[in-house]
Structure 1
Amino acid sequence: MAIPVIFAPVSDAAIDTKNIVGVWLFDEVNNKDMSSDSSENGNDAELLKGAELVDDGKFDKALSLSGDDEFQIAMVETSKSLDSCAEEYTTTTWVKLKKKEKVVLGGCCNDDHAIINFQYTCLLNIFGPGRGGGHGKVEIGSGQLAPAWVSGPTVVNDDKWHHIAFTYDGKKMIAYIDGKVDAQANTGGVFGLTGQSLQIGGMADQRPGWGLMDDVGVFNTALSEADINDIMDQGLGKLFGFTPVSPEGRLTTVWARVKSEH
């Protein structure tokens, strides 16, 4: 008989585990197409419209996205823990994105890759072919900020793995690519997250990602550049000790120990 596994954190990371909102390793799904949140917050992601896991991940498996009008995504329903990102925020991910050669869905933006977003809130976006010279560059921002958006010079839609992060501390937003600052802007505002679901891989009706995503994390604080590099170098699973144990294992005990150490 197969024994299901859960992921129990045994962390040596400097990052305070209380700031983890969700971690999606995309290494397994259950029979309802749900990919588990490895944190204790229960923000499981539902794979929709044919999105699936494949064996070619940065770490083990990865979320595979078709980049077409099927609008494949992994959806995380609204929760209080997601709402806690309203004033400070970090998201991190590995991506291996393909280049969209021509405008198919229309407009300037519909062919972008909106890889992590709450619709137009906390948007981590890769420009598509409708963006002219910006094609393949990373944009971050949110409709509630002023200024709302910033993008950098680095192209990431080259079918190679890149680590991308977006941080916001209430005063500045920063985009990191492969551990280095790619774009930043002084800004301010509070994200309007209440009642918003988290969408990984695209939006429900536009900006579909094309390629692979792995090792997605969301935090309710602005992580430092050193933190971002720790996540990039070790991966979320190793850094926070999200290792498989049996249901009779140490999940509650280990979480209690990790919290007491931070």
Structure 2
Amino acid sequence: MPTLRKVFVPSLVIILTLNGCTNGPVGDTSVFLNTPDLVAFWTFGEEAGQQRTSVGGSQPHSLSEVGGPIARADVGPFSGYSAYFDGKQYLSIPYKETGDLNICGPDAQVSMFAVVKIYDLRQSRTIAGMWSEGKGRDDDSGTRQYAMLMNMPTYGGPKQLVPHISAEGGVTMRADSTKFPWCADYAATKQEVPEERWCTLAFTYDGKYIKAYIDGVLDERAPDPVNDKRDDPYFMQEGPGGANRGMNPYYHGRGIFCYDPEIHGDTKPGGGSDFTVGARYAVGEMLGEATIGYFGGLAVFDRALTDEEVLKVHEASNIAALRKLDEK
């Protein structure tokens, strides 16, 4: 008989089987491996205490645990398992080892796709990315690049999916060189991120527009300048042809920040951002906004997937089957 262990999460008690998978994979990994420009794909089949190593792509990428072992749950789309984050741990690849995950430059493109079950979105949470924010408001020492985040109410994204792209690494700068107190460049979905049930979350950036997807569908949203706190001229007049930037899709169009120690060594002494899963460096610490929930799959591509491709990888994740397994 497998060993059983109770793991407590908000409003739910989950029984994890630690010595053998009771449910096999329900998704199709081949769809991800056959999608062009895959950089890394994690299926989270490893036991607690082990590195989580990617499949696909031209380079292997191994995520190391930070903050202690991350439990393995016996349900997941691609390996039959998932990683459970309790808000006190995360996974990381040091900046110097990020390799082709270090996606940056004026013409860079990126897409990220995740199969997750998220708990407690009362504050900002992180899926993954290269995103180091520095010490807080008005601090320009960050080395942000790209990230898939959740719940960012500052500019109209409370509990929504809010993928970010930064051109500066630090705070966002207007055309007249004045600065925002934070990074303001993100799309925001119309609906909230589902909580306590399996879903897929994704974003794409094609060098111009950031697009956010929930369960395989682009969740389009028009700006509401007053309610979204986006009435600043940066949002309303610095988009294409002097128009507004939109909300989802959101016009960024300024590329992705590249850390250069010769250029940024003095102003950004913390160095380039690590690639992290489940947490990010924000307001001077890593775990203040760490994620609680299950990660069943995570993929990064170095181009913008089409709407059809996002839907295809969503369908390959077989969310309906995952939800049925949860009902057992």
Fold-level similarity (TM above 0.5): yes
Change (3 A) 1:46 1:57: same
1:48 aligns with 2:113: no
1:15 aligns with 2:35: yes
1:75 pairs, out of 77, 85, 92, with: 92
Structure having the higher Rg: 2
* Bigger strand share: 1
Q: Deviations over 1:156-176 (max 9, x none)?
A: 242011111110010111001
1:192 aligns with 2:229: no
1:116 pairs, out of 104, 110, 128, with: 128
Letter in 1 for 2:51: M
TM alignment of 1:135-146, pairs within 5 A: 135-144=158-167
Give the equivalent residue in structure 2 for 1:257.
none
Q: How many angstroms apart in 2 are the aligned matches of 1:157 and 1:11? A: 24
User: What is the deviation of 1:224?
Assistant: 0.6
Q: How many angstroms apart in 1 are the aligned matches of 2:213 and 2:196? A: 18
Q: How many angstroms apart in 2 are the aligned matches of 1:100 and 1:175? A: 17
Letter in 1 for 2:192: V
Q: Deviations over 1:213-241 (max 9, x none)?
A: 121000100011111111111149xxxxx
Q: Where do 5+ consecutive residues of structure 2 fail to align? A: 1-28, 132-143, 173-183, 220-247, 260-271, 281-285, 319-328
Higher relative contact order (CA 8 A, sep 6+): 1
Change (3 A) 1:227 1:46: same
Q: How many angstroms apart in 1 are the aligned matches of 2:64 and 2:194? A: 25
User: What is the deviation of 1:112?
Assistant: 1.1
Q: Deviations over 1:24-66 (max 9, x none)?
A: 1101148x62011112411111122132322132441112111
Contact 1:114 1:207 in 2 (8 A): yes
1:207 pairs, out of 282, 286, 289, with: 289
Change (3 A) 1:132 1:97: farther
2:187 pairs, out of 150, 157, 175, with: 150
Three-state SS of the structure 2 residue aligned to 1:228 is: helix
Q: TM-score, normalised by structure 2?
A: 0.58
Q: How many angstroms apart in 2 are the aligned matches of 1:200 and 1:10? A: 23
1:27 aligns with 2:48: no
Give the equivalent residue in structure 1 for 2:111.
90
Q: How many angstroms apart in 2 are the aligned matches of 1:186 and 1:95? A: 27
Q: How many angstroms apart in 1 are the aligned matches of 2:91 and 2:197? A: 21
Q: How many angstroms apart in 1 are the aligned matches of 2:50 and 2:128? A: 19
Q: How many angstroms apart in 1 are the aligned matches of 2:120 and 2:103? A: 34
Three-state SS of the structure 1 residue aligned to 2:75 is: coil
Q: How many angstroms apart in 2 are the aligned matches of 1:11 and 1:217? A: 11
CA RMSD of aligned residues (A): 2.8
